[in-house]
């Protein structure tokens, strides 16, 4: 399965991307996470439904110092997952 996540709230400047990276990597998911100019964090992850549900629970909880007000989830076509490699943070360097 491949899912797109859009996280709103206090999710920039609080280590949220690093938190998502750690959670997703521990779950063995492929994909990426990045900040958006709108102040939201965007994420695409590919893996089993069970592993994605674990990631979603972590996204809803958020990192220490963050506040998640809204989590939007969209299923993507499986072909989107073929382009993804090991989970990474985009725009972090």
Cite the active site residues: 17, 35
- Alpha helices per DSSP H over the chain: 16-27, 49-61
Residues 32, 90, 79, 72, Cα dihedral to 10°: 60
């Amino acid at each position: 399965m491949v899912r797109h996540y859009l996280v709103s709230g206090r999710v920039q400047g609080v280590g949220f991307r690093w938190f998502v990276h750690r959670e997703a990597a521990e779950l063995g998911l492929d994909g990426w996470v990045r900040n958006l100019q709108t102040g939201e964090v965007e994420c695409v992850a590919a893996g089993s439904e069970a592993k994605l549900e674990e990631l979603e629970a972590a996204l809803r909880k958020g990192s220490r110092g963050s506040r998640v007000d809204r989590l939007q989830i969209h299923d993507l076509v499986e072909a989107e997952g073929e382009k993804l490699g090991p989970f990474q943070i985009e725009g972090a360097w």
